[in-house]
């Protein structure tokens, strides 16, 4: 589908595609697919003010009714799953099944949020004073600013907005400047859902289109108590500090540098499949992409040769075609960063397998690449930097505790995995002295989390958690209430203060 077909299938105004002069090109072939109007400072100001107003009404609606809006939105997503997936493929370059999978993830989080809207529970706590009740409640917090990365152009917003809306918070979304059409399509469907719902205030959800400047305006605004920012560690370092400077709250979901330890007893068929999907899927452009392997001495050669054999037959190509498994990088800058990282590894004395541009003749303006494996050898025993491209660093280990230490010895802490059939190794890896990442899997790769768990990572990955488990608490404020139903006024800690 081309962009006009997508817009008409979604019943969107085609005029948007030529509304300004900010060029949006498709990574599939590098061609311009839209010229958009960017939001001005004034536009952003109006959207924030509208969200602050909307909050006053939205927080009054009982949470299960707020859930009803998300239920209707989920229906719109189900209706348009194929078209939205095609838009992700066109604007972000994901293969068809990954585009569809991203929309499925949005549908799943809507279902989760609908159930959650009846379960925003607090606590009752035993009071130390007679005839007193001590309880904790969770209340709506205010507008949530969502800043998202190009590589999950829809799902990251859905994780945030489905929860925020049931929690009673309006949402202002600043998507990546590389994938604004995905954002406009999601907002269009939410507007449809809002119209069907019939009882939502103006300004409950909006999108601001622009680069980092409009993001910073959102980040600095006190009327937005929570900023949920997904992107690079460099972005998070700026955003986290700016939000903290005004005593705002933030959820930071930043870069990863994810490793798999493949132990002596590993099922190598499973490990090979998980590594290939994790390392080259989405052309290495997932925050959970497998970037490092620590292979036990005893299986090192076997695993490496299996991976090289798999890398020889990777179907690299147009992501819009069935059968393609590796689509393009997002742009030329990503390609240059990949080449630079491979040149650095070679300069250090590592063996580099693969790399370089693919399909250049067919797509001269797009950036398809051959995924690469860097064998660390003696020259390199670890890699600390996330290059957002399909490069897999391959290292050797002999002692598991030392491998876990090396795995943890990087600035990021998002996803990790071990392949082992040894129960002691598996338990050690997931224990308090094991992987220090937010995600620690056993016989499951690093990439592709389910929505039911809390998603996020430690250290420079930012510490935020989104999606399942009790992540919803980050979108609400906690209120502790002590209620005295006696006719006495006893003070806490037995303090006497009688005149």
Q: Is 11 in the site for ligand NAD (CB under 6 A)?
A: no
Minimum CB separation of residue 302 from ligand NAD in Å reads 30
Minimum CB separation of residue 273 from ligand NAD in Å reads 23
> Which residue's CB is nearer to ligand NAD, number 157 or number 363?
157
253 is annotated as an active-site residue = yes
Cα–Cα dist 480/486, whole Å? 19
What's the alpha-carbon Rg for the chain, to the nearest Å? 24
Q: Which of residues 328-347 bind ligand NAD (CB under 6 A)?
A: none
| Residue 174 · residue 148 · CB < 8 Å | yes
Q: Is 461 in the site for ligand NAD (CB under 6 A)?
A: yes
Q: What SS3 class is residue 145?
A: strand
Structure tokens at 288: 């959970």
Rule CB under 6 A: choose which of 51, 77, 113, 219 binds ligand NAD. Answer: 219
Q: Is 39 in the site for ligand NAD (CB under 6 A)?
A: no
Distance of CA 475 to the CA centre of its chain: 16
Q: Is 215 in the site for ligand NAD (CB under 6 A)?
A: yes
Q: Is 253 in the site for ligand NAD (CB under 6 A)?
A: yes
Cβ contacts of 321 within 8 Å, gap of 6 or more? none
Minimum CB separation of residue 439 from ligand NAD in Å reads 10
> Which residue's CB is nearer to ligand NAD, number 211 or number 399?
211
The DSSP letter of residue 356 is S
Cα–Cα dist 262/417, whole Å? 9
Cα–Cα dist 213/305, whole Å? 47
Minimum CB separation of residue 277 from ligand NAD in Å reads 17
Which range of residues in 13-21, 169-177, 302-310, 399-407 is near ligand NAD by CB under 6 A? 169-177
The DSSP letter of residue 488 is S
Instruction: Write down the catalytic residue from 91, 253, 375, 425.
Output: 253
Q: What SS3 class is residue 113?
A: helix
Minimum CB separation of residue 231 from ligand NAD in Å reads 3
Minimum CB separation of residue 59 from ligand NAD in Å reads 26
Q: Is 287 in the site for ligand NAD (CB under 6 A)?
A: yes
CB count in 10 Å sphere of residue 112:
21
> Which residue's CB is nearer to ligand NAD, number 179 or number 205?
179
Q: Is 255 in the site for ligand NAD (CB under 6 A)?
A: yes
Range 374-411 burial, b when 16+ CB lie within 10 A, else e: bbbeeebebbeebbbbbbbbbbbbeebeebbebbbebe
Cβ contacts of 358 within 8 Å, gap of 6 or more? 316, 368, 369, 370
Q: Is 152 in the site for ligand NAD (CB under 6 A)?
A: yes
> Which residue's CB is nearer to ligand NAD, number 174 or number 306?
174
Cα–Cα dist 462/240, whole Å? 9
Rule CB under 6 A: choose which of 58, 388, 419, 472 binds ligand NAD. Answer: 388
Q: Is 97 in the site for ligand NAD (CB under 6 A)?
A: no
> Which residue's CB is nearer to ligand NAD, number 151 or number 206?
151
Q: What SS3 class is residue 132?
A: strand
Rule CB under 6 A: choose which of 169, 386, 436, 460 binds ligand NAD. Answer: 386
Q: How far apart are the first and last CA of the chain?
A: 80
Q: Is 416 in the site for ligand NAD (CB under 6 A)?
A: no
Range 7-17 burial, b when 16+ CB lie within 10 A, else e: bebbebeeebb
Q: Is 235 in the site for ligand NAD (CB under 6 A)?
A: yes
Q: Is 100 in the site for ligand NAD (CB under 6 A)?
A: no
Q: What SS3 class is residue 425?
A: helix
Cβ contacts of 231 within 8 Å, gap of 6 or more? 147, 148, 149, 176, 253, 254
Q: Is 254 in the site for ligand NAD (CB under 6 A)?
A: yes
Minimum CB separation of residue 411 from ligand NAD in Å reads 12
> Which residue's CB is nearer to ligand NAD, number 254 or number 266?
254
Structure tokens at 216: 């910073």
Minimum CB separation of residue 282 from ligand NAD in Å reads 10
> Which residue's CB is nearer to ligand NAD, number 150 or number 300?
150
Minimum CB separation of residue 229 from ligand NAD in Å reads 6
Q: Is 154 in the site for ligand NAD (CB under 6 A)?
A: no
For residue 47, give the nearest of 170, 175, 229 by alpha carbon: 170
Q: Is 258 in the site for ligand NAD (CB under 6 A)?
A: no
Cα–Cα dist 71/197, whole Å? 10
**Residues contributing to the site for ligand NAD (CB under 6 A):** 147-152, 174, 176-177, 211-212, 215-216, 219, 230-232, 235, 238-239, 253-256, 287, 386, 388, 414, 461
Active site residues: 253
């Amino acid at each position: 589908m081309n962009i006009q077909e997508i817009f008409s299938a979604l019943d969107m105004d085609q005029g948007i595609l030529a509304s300004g002069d900010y060029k949006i090109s498709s990574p599939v072939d590098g061609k311009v697919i839209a010229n958009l109007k960017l939001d001005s400072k004034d536009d952003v100001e109006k959207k924030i003010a509208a969200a602050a107003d909307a909050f006053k009404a939205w927080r009054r609606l009982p949470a299960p009714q707020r859930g009803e809006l998300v239920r209707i939105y989920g229906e719109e997503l189900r209706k348009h799953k194929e078209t939205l997936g095609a838009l992700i493929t066109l604007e972000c370059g994901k293969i068809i099944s990954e585009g569809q999978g991203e929309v499925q993830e949005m549908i799943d989080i809507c279902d989760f949020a609908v159930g959650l809207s009846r379960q925003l529970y607090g606590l009752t706590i035993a009071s130390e004073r007679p005839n007193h009740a001590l309880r904790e409640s969770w209340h709506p917090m205010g507008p949530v600013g969502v800043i998202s990365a190009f590589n999950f152009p829809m799902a990251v917003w859905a994780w945030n907005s489905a929860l925020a809306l049931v929690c009673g918070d309006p949402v202002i979304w600043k998507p990546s400047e590389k994938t604004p059409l995905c954002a406009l399509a999601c907002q269009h469907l939410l507007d449809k859902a809002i119209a069907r719902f019939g009882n939502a205030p103006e300004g409950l959800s909006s999108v601001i289109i622009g680069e980092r400047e409009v993001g910073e305006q959102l980040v600095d605004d006190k009327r937005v108590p929570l900023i949920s920012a997904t992107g690079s560690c460099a972005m998070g370092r700026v955003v986290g500090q700016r939000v903290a400077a005004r005593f705002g709250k933030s959820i930071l979901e930043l870069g990863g540098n994810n490793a798999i330890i493949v132990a002596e007893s590993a099922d190598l068929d499973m490990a090979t499949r998980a590594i290939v999907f994790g390392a080259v899927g989405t052309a290495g452009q997932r925050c959970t992409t497998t970037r490092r392997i620590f292979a036990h001495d005893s299986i090192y050669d076997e695993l490496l040769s299996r991976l090289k054999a798999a890398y020889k037959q990777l179907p690299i190509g147009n992501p819009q075609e069935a059968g393609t498994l590796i689509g393009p990088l997002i742009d030329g800058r990503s390609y240059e960063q990949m080449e630079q990282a491979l040149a650095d590894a070679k300069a250090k004395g590592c063996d580099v397998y693969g790399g370089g541009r693919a399909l250049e003749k067919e797509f001269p303006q797009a950036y398809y690449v051959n995924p690469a494996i860097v064998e660390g050898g003696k020259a390199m025993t670890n890699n600390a930097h996330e290059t957002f491209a399909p490069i897999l660093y391959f290292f050797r280990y002999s002692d598991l505790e030392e491998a876990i230490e090396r795995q943890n010895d990087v600035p990021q802490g998002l996803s990790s995995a071990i392949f082992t059939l040894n129960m002691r190794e598996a338990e050690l890896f997931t224990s308090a002295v094991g992987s220090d990442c937010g995600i620690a899997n056993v016989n499951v790769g690093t990439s592709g989390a389910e929505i039911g768990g809390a998603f996020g990572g430690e250290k420079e990955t930012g510490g935020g958690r989104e999606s399942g488990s009790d992540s919803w608490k980050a979108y609400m404020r906690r209120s502790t209430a002590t209620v005295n139903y006696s006719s006495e006024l006893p003070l806490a800690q037995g303090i006497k203060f009688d005149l």
